[in-house]
Structure 1
């Protein structure tokens, strides 16, 4: 199709053309950033935790008078839960993914270094911690029975029991020891304590990731039996997912009988899948809100294109009639308006991409948002192009449906 008539027509309507291009540019800029935020939130919700979520439940208890041996209470709880039918493994744990708890420690490769290498969630637990979480060890081994210490126990001189070893995630291993095996290496954490790395797990999400896409798999496991000191979190892995609710109910009743005066913290006594759902509730609400805003934005833009295209069709009735009289088909008329809209959309998209980066830079500085991915620019452009073509189709078909003689007569 000859582009000169289209460009000439747009040149005569500079103000209207400029407004349409500006509207499309603003729509494209906002849409690209919204798609980026939505994609980031969805990606965060879909992260793999590394835990066997389908088979893991969490029991949290609190309260009670701890006049007895705190370590003995914890041992009694674990033995009672382990004896329940359907339980594969159980362990007290300092952290649980998606439970809104956070205990982070620096992990270094040299003792006493001034700047830390990284910060990692610190999971402490007893002999069955790795099995209870259902973690996949990809290098090295699990903790040996002799490596576990009673956390909080003091020696004759009042010193804390030293932790001999650690298991780290693959993400931590690759960052601290790139290009070589981490098993057998020494890392320093929790008061600059030397820890021998005995194993590497595929992944274990930070108990509270904070939305970061960089370090959410920075976690470390330590062999420490946790005493009951007014609070305990037990990770229970069941054989059959259908038994999760039954095991939770039975485990809760059992530990309350084991030591009087305690209560079940219902907010965090759930399956791990339920904890994940609760943890990402705000993210899901944000995604729904942003999707709704995108739909509203595109609807307003489409209505603007339809209104302006209808107005231009009315103004160019005579031009349409003449083109029809000279042999232009209905398809030619429709294609004319679609091509015109494509040119306007393309100009708006080019400006919109520049605006999108400007908005993203502002969001990064003001709200610590992540950088806009280049993948969202063509996605936003495609949506705007399709929107423009669909929005202009009705006015274009209405123009093409006017008989040539009637169009010319009405224009005279």
Structure 2
């Protein structure tokens, strides 16, 4: 295509010089003597090239491109055959030109750019998606899903897991009644099985595996007899690799380990899919708690809210390298068990602990401008 554009531009330039330039020169000769001097300084050629360039850009590039973008499939079918013929004809020339360009680059000590490096980078594709959404070509939901695909490759298991404090697990010595009670209360399909502590998960039980037992109850019930092997991954494992593990092992759940080998949480196939398509709720799930405003600058959020979500939604700059949830971040900054009323300043906001659930932060109030007001007051005092 570049060769065709170049040839067309050169041909039009020659046409402008020979045809329009001559006509403009003849016309300028009819003007008064003072204007005829323009012929000697090449005004006729410049005007001719300007006119042809305008016509070339408007009728040769912009207008055809707009029509083709409006009807891409139709014009692709029409133009593909002649373009294939043109490509076959000029292939020897393009090969020679490319070889010459590579030779010149090597003479000057430059490395030719591989073809795969000339395609769009992920950052460029993100810009294209954003522009397509702003232009109405992509729906907001489609753009969010594509953005989720890009972010998917940037996350690890620790960032998408369900933390250990929210794991519904079974003690290996649990009775059939205790097992059924937990299943009835939580309505999950898979349950980790642990021995002594949650840090020692030894297997996995599927709720459906209990159906044969309910039909013919054994004299002695044992979870060991029906539990399956459980897949474990480190918290640093990338979610792309976790997904590959699930596909290879035909599993839907893995235990996430911390750096000391203890249980950090669990990650499921649903967790991975939600990173791309958004929250997936079934008939037993409760809708996530939406941020509740208590004024123009005060927002109450759940402690389990992801830091990345808050940063994106409210324009905050809370660091999320070491923590996934805002509750975990506040806990880590305090360095002790939080109590109601504890305050932490981060980025351009102040976080106040509102509710505790045992050792877990249930909710926090965010003052979106308090931190900024404090810095402004401090600068005023210094002045």
TM (norm. structure 2) is 0.25
Give the structure, 1 or 2, with the largest relative contact order (CA under 8 Å, sep 6 or more): 1
Structure ID, larger Rg: 2
TM-score, normalised on structure 1? 0.23
